[in-house]
Amino acid sequence: MKSRKPKDILKYYWGFDSFRGSQEKIIDALMQGQDGVALMPTGGGKSVCFQIPALAQEGICIVISPLVALIQNQVARLKLLGIKAIALTGGIPAEEVSNLLDNCLYGNYTFLYISPERLRQELVQERIQRMNVSLIAVDEAHCISQWGHDFRPAYLECGKLRELLPDTPIVALTATATAAVVDDISMHLKLQVPILVKDSFARKNIAFEVVLAEDKPYRLRQLCAALEKSAIVYVRTRRLAQDLARDLNASGYEATFFHGGVQKKEKQKRMDLWLENKVKVMVATNAFGMGIDKPDVALVVHYQIPDCIENYFQEAGRAGRDGTMAKAVLLTNKTDQQAVKDQFISILPDTAYLKKVYNKLNNYFQIAYGEGNDTSHQLNFNAFCATYQLNTLLTFNAFRILDQNSVFSLTETFTQKTLVQLLIGKEPLFDYLEQNKAIVSIVQTLLRTYGGIFDFETKINTHLVAKKTGVAETKVLQVLKQLEKDAIIEYQANESDLSITFLVPREDDTTINRFAREVKERQQIKIDHVHQMLAYVNNGKHCRNQQLLAYFGETTAHKCGICDVCKNMTPINPAAISAQILKLLKNKDHGSRFIVAALNYDEKQVLKGLRYLLEEGRIRINSKNEYELV
């Protein structure tokens, strides 16, 4: 392509004749060397804002992105367009990293996608300084702000790019940022008089609904029954993703699941099935969907309450990207609100707990006061918690905070656990135990403690199993190895699941006091986020769209007319509902659940219509608990 005009590039590569929203405004500013912040909703075309100015100029564009899957997806898409792009993520050998960076210097590449952690490496910094960099793009820029919903300390490394390339324009892009977060982004990236462009976050084609459902599996099946296009169902745990996908498939709905524990090849296979519409429903944990271009998602379901409005809005915004009508449904019930508090608030360690964990850790490794810096230690996390009777979730979060504040450094093996799955059925297992009675108590404890062990890989706590069985943990590990050898189970073990390198000498409370105030502030932000999310769930008086826009500082007098609140406030002609119920019952008797699912009205209004027809004597309930015409 010879033309370097932005509109010509847009037409050539993407097939569009004109830009959307503020795209052209930010592109023009970047091409003139100005810094910028682009706030655009999910599906608003953020990537075009830096890809086009990069293609219009000589040199390479460095893109910082938080997720490996997101980087790989964008690089693959650029390569399909015939654009030269390189991905530099974790897990690449040092020699290969050097070769890839040389390609950026001499290979006429247009894009270098890089994770923020890579910016810590001297080799990477040295090569970046030698590159002809036309533009720096920081995607998901809210990750740099401690006031944001997804603060990632590694993102603070992005500020080094201004020092390495002081004359190169920087653009920060995000779909979810309040005014405080925007200020934080500008400060940490050292933006110089940046242009701020903000497109309306309003999604006029998405009907936001909060649905009270005691029987959530049934309501989910109801929603899937009316589905013509694709759907995403968001859950918080891997186990629930697997359980719901299995339940939907058993009920006749094409579904699969996606989470961090799925093997790489299997992930791609499942993704392809969903992208090609061979499977309609993807049940996934919340990292799924970022950067994936699938415009025909007609339904996004949040099966559990998210931890903040930013995550909810970003995930819900993956519906209706083709401009057609779509739904974003949050299913909830009476127990959910306490559950979200338990999961996201009760496990936040306060300063006293941080001091306790730090003190116990030093004692565990017998580190003397004033010593320990630059020493590395292997740790079995569960054994450590058991030794001092520490809550594992609280301690997990305490470790993360100590890591974030450079007290010590954790290796990536921290999140790995012992995984077990039974390879044989119950009858063969009982036959095996008849021949190996010495291990019966340990196997029975496993079965009682971990119910899904027959169906899928299950994380187990070997220390807990040992405690329940009354044997040493080494004995439990021996039994697991025996079961693996005899092809009874599939077994993946991490006897030392954590490596810690202390970065400062032990000073007990003084070490923690240095950042205690910042930790308290961040914890309060997380608490506020949960309460704001719960306020949205419980607010049935104001239009959902207005509530969401107000959260992001955007006001509108226009009610959407399609959310659950607006529909409940809109007067409905009872005669119209009654007529549709009678028409539905003309050929066949039906239960109330089927009638509610079949009619495009709120459940309460349909139930009122049924009561009215019963009182009028026009319908009755038969012996099957179904409604029939009189």
Quote the pLDDT of residue 273: 92
- Helix, strand, or coil (residue 326): strand
Q: 345-415+498-525 and 571-629 share one CATH topology?
A: yes
Can you list the positions of beta strands (E) in 9-156? Answer: 36-39, 60-64, 85-88, 111-114, 133-138
Inform me whether the pLDDT recorded for 412 exceeds 70: no
Per-residue pLDDT, 257: 93
The CA distance from 199 to 186, in Å, is: 18
Residue that the structure tokens 């049934």 belong to: 218
How far, in Å, CA of 177 to CA of 42, rounded?
12
Mean pLDDT of 565-581: 79
Confidence check: pLDDT of 101 > 80 = yes
Looking at 3.40.50.300, 3.50.50.60, 3.40.50.720, 3.40.1410.10, the CATH number of the domain 6-198 comes to 3.40.50.300
Per-residue pLDDT of 515-530, as tens digits, reads 999 889 888 988 999 9
Q: How far is CA 239 from CA 223, 235, 245, 336, 382, in A?
A: 21, 9, 10, 17, 20
> Residue 239 phi/psi, 5° resolution?
-60, -45
Q: Report the mean per-residue pLDDT for the chain.
A: 87
Q: What residues are paired with 328 via a beta bridge?
A: 208, 300
Q: Select from 538, 192, 608, 115 the least CA-distant residue to 337.
A: 538
Q: Which residues contact 147 (CB under 8 A, 6 or more apart)?
A: 178, 180, 181, 184, 525
What's at 622, amino acid-wise?
N
More confident call, 561 vs 498: 561
pLDDT above 70 as % of the chain: 94
CB 212 within 8 A of CB 335: no
Residue type, 81: L
Rg of the chain taking only CA atoms, in angstroms: 28
217-259 pLDDT per residue, tens: 989 998 998 788 999 999 988 889 999 999 999 999 999 999 8
- The structure tokens 């405004």 sit at 25
In this model, does residue 167 exceed pLDDT 80?
yes
Contact in structure between 503 and 377 (CB atoms under 8 Å):
no
d(CA 522, CA 42): 25
Distances (CA, A) of 498 to 167, 191, 375, 382: 42, 38, 14, 10
- Cβ–Cβ < 8 Å for 451, 237: no
| Token code pair at residue 21 | 């929203």
pLDDT-derived band at 390, boundaries 50, 70, 90: very high
Query: Of 1-10, 31-40, 357-366, 523-532, where does mean pLDDT reach its minimum?
Result: 1-10
Mean pLDDT of 543-552: 93
| Domain spanning 571-629: CATH 3.40.50.300 | no
Per-residue pLDDT band at 300 (split at 50, 70, 90) = very high
- State mean pLDDT over 563-571: 82
- Please tell me the CATH superfamily of domain 206-341, with its number: P-loop containing nucleotide triphosphate hydrolases (3.40.50.300)
Query: At residue 11, does pLDDT exceed 70?
Result: yes
Q: Give the highest mean pLDDT range of 282-286, 541-545, 576-580.
A: 541-545
- Give yes or no for residue 415 having a pLDDT over 70: no
The domain segmentation of the chain, as residue ranges, is: 6-198, 206-341, 345-415+498-525, 418-492, 571-629
pLDDT of residue 469: 86
User: What pLDDT is stored for residue 506 in this prediction?
Assistant: 95
- Strands 498-502 and 408-410: what pairing? antiparallel
The closest of 113, 161, 132, 162 to 59, measured between CA atoms, is 132
Label residue 209 by pLDDT band (50, 70, 90). Answer: very high
What is the C-alpha to C-alpha distance for residues 536 and 309, in angstroms, rounded to an integer?
8
- C-alpha 573, offset from chain centre: 41
Confidence of residue 533 (pLDDT cuts 50, 70, 90): very high
Averaged pLDDT, 392-396: 89
- Report residue 87 as tokens: 């991905």
- Poorest-confidence range of 143-147, 342-346, 398-402? 143-147
- pLDDT value, residue 458: 79
Q: What is the mean pLDDT of residues 563-584?
A: 81
Output the six-digit token pair for 28: 């023009």
To 10 degrees, what angle do helices 462-469 and 440-449 make? Answer: 120
Asked if 296 and 318 touch (Cβ cutoff 8 Å), the reply is: no
CATH code at 345-415+498-525: 1.10.10
The predicted structure's pLDDT at residue 313: 92
Average confidence (pLDDT) over 421-437:
85
Query: pLDDT grade, residue 357 (50/70/90)?
Result: very high
Q: How far apart are CA 509 and CA 188, in angstroms?
A: 29
Could you report the per-residue pLDDT of 453-512, keeping only the tens digit for each?
776 777 787 777 887 888 887 788 888 888 888 888 888 776 556 788 899 999 999 999
CA-CA distance, 546 to 560, in Å (whole number)? 8
pLDDT tens-digit map of 317-336 = 899 988 899 999 999 988 89
pLDDT of residue 206: 94
pLDDT at residue 2 is higher than 60:
no
Cα(174)–Cα(76) distance, integer angstroms: 21
Tokens of 257: 């699941």
| pLDDT on residue 522 | 84
pLDDT of residue 316: 93
Contact indicator for 201, 313 with CB cutoff of 8 Å: yes
**Which segments within 292-407 are labelled E, that is strand?**
297-302, 326-332, 376-379
CA distances from 178 to 147, 149, 439, 450, 509 (A): 9, 10, 57, 42, 34
